[in-house]
Chains A and B, each alone.
Chain A
């Protein structure tokens, strides 16, 4: 019997191994995020008080755009040599593939965030005035929201001719509630003006709803022609 978790683990390990060897997604994500840091550093005075209000949006927009690269890449490698067909003819559960891709992307985007956050802090001279620990649930729930929808819509646009364009067109509008929560939550923690509790609950609800919906629909997407 092929269990959901053993296939999920095997697929995730395989994806991490492939990424480690090629570094396609990580390199392009890092390059894009670095570009965002540098360009915006020159476009306004990072020492100003306003930076505390702006940097939340800047960070998440940077991560959102950068993660699209990884999300496209994650399915693109399943198209080479039609390896996805080998999965489709196996008795492995469809959701194991989806969960593995989501967890893999979560790790890749998490690594990016761990590497880039100190740069944002240094270059934009960020001082947290609110409860700093609340940034952790915002980061985890926000990243999950991005990758769960991103992985799903990347799979959906897999068989379309211009899938690189299709993914942002599908992903960005549906991510608006999550992105707004991430930005507003981060800004309220950085400025210490209001509690981020509401945004954390909103993100949690968003994650539960969309993870459930994606898991319910993924088998249909996988076997669609």
Chain B
């Protein structure tokens, strides 16, 4: 179990530019282990770019990121990443997808794959290809893929989008259990109310910067900012 008092992620003055557009403008922050961080902000605030940079999928134009004292790419074994798209092959069943991804992490056998499919509330026997799943099922299978290798850090980009309220609440419950087991969880969402009372911290982003970090879901707006 991770020690909650230790910062596991250090983001130091990170700037990420796409051509002339700066998606991240000097983000500096430290995040503690074993906490549930909800990242909030309007579209284009830089939430997804921040998460992709933490996952090692985007390189900062300037600045540095340390995760468990390593670069994001070196820390990939301790990280689970769930993107807005499913990151699953539509033509294969959920179990076939997970079996393939398990091999990438050096996990042999079907045991762990079946376990995570059950954890997210799906049936490992389901033979249908993922392309025929409902959006909610696909999101849950995508979460199963992200937690397959039992990572210490979870980076989830809009896991509740297009998911019905009941399924979303079940997913929140699962993430809470994982946080309670010592995992560090980052969730980007536009459905912040789902995380009220669950998230330890709300990280507010605006125009490529972290503008506030609060323990509750309410905060005062910065000048020129729309707080919903």
Q: Which of B90, B96, B104 sits near A81, CB closer than 8 Å?
A: B90
Given A87-B104, A90-B105, A17 contacting B79 (CB threshold 8 A): no
Given A21-B91, A86-B145, A90-B76, A14 contacting B106 (CB threshold 8 A): no
Instruction: List A contacts of B103 (CB < 8 A).
Output: 2, 6-7, 10, 92
Given A22-B91, A81-B88, A81-B89, A90 contacting B57 (CB threshold 8 A): no
Instruction: Evaluate contact between B76 and A89: CB separation under 8 angstroms.
Output: yes
Q: Shortest Cβ distance from B202 into chain A, in angstroms?
A: 25
Given A85-B83, A86-B145, A92 contacting B104 (CB threshold 8 A): yes
Instruction: Evaluate contact between B101 and A90: CB separation under 8 angstroms.
Output: yes
B residues 74-128 in Cβ contact with A at 8 Å: 76-77, 79, 81, 83, 85-92, 96, 100-101, 103-106
Given A89-B55, A90-B76, A77 contacting B104 (CB threshold 8 A): no
Instruction: Sort chain A's interface into a size bin.
Output: 20 to 34
Assembled-state Cα–Cα distance A18/B91 (Å): 7
Closest to A77 in B: B89
Assembled-state Cα–Cα distance A123/B89 (Å): 40
Assembled-state Cα–Cα distance A89/B54 (Å): 10
Given A81-B85, A82-B85, A89-B56, A2 contacting B104 (CB threshold 8 A): yes
Q: Which of A2, A22, A77, A81 sits near B106, CB closer than 8 Å?
A: A2
Closest to A18 in B: B91
Assembled-state Cα–Cα distance A82/B86 (Å): 8
Instruction: List A contacts of B91 (CB < 8 A).
Output: 18, 21-22
Tell me if B58 is interfacial: C-beta within 8 Å of chain A. yes
Scan A86-127; emit 1 where CB is below 8 A from any B CB, else 0.
111111100000000000000000000000000000000000
Instruction: Evaluate contact between A85 and B87: CB separation under 8 angstroms.
Output: yes
Closest to B106 in A: A2
Instruction: Evaluate contact between A80 and B90: CB separation under 8 angstroms.
Output: yes
Q: Shortest Cβ distance from A223 into chain B, in angstroms?
A: 8
Instruction: List B contacts of A86 (CB < 8 A).
Output: 81, 87-88, 101, 145
A interface residues (Cβ-Cβ under 8 A, vs B):
1-3, 6-7, 10-11, 14, 17-18, 21-22, 77, 80-83, 85-92, 223, 225
A-B contact pairs, 16 of them (CB 8 A): A6-B106, A17-B92, A17-B96, A22-B91, A80-B89, A81-B90, A83-B87, A86-B81, A86-B101, A88-B56, A89-B76, A89-B81, A90-B101, A90-B105, A91-B105, A225-B58
Top 10 nearest A-B pairs (CB, nearest first) are: A10-B103, A86-B87, A92-B104, A90-B104, A2-B106, A82-B85, A81-B85, A89-B81, A81-B86, A91-B77
20 other A-B residue contacts (CB within 8 Å) besides A80-B89, A90-B101, A223-B73: A2-B105, A2-B106, A14-B96, A17-B96, A18-B91, A80-B90, A81-B85, A81-B86, A81-B88, A82-B87, A85-B81, A86-B87, A86-B101, A86-B145, A87-B104, A88-B56, A89-B57, A91-B77, A92-B105, A225-B59
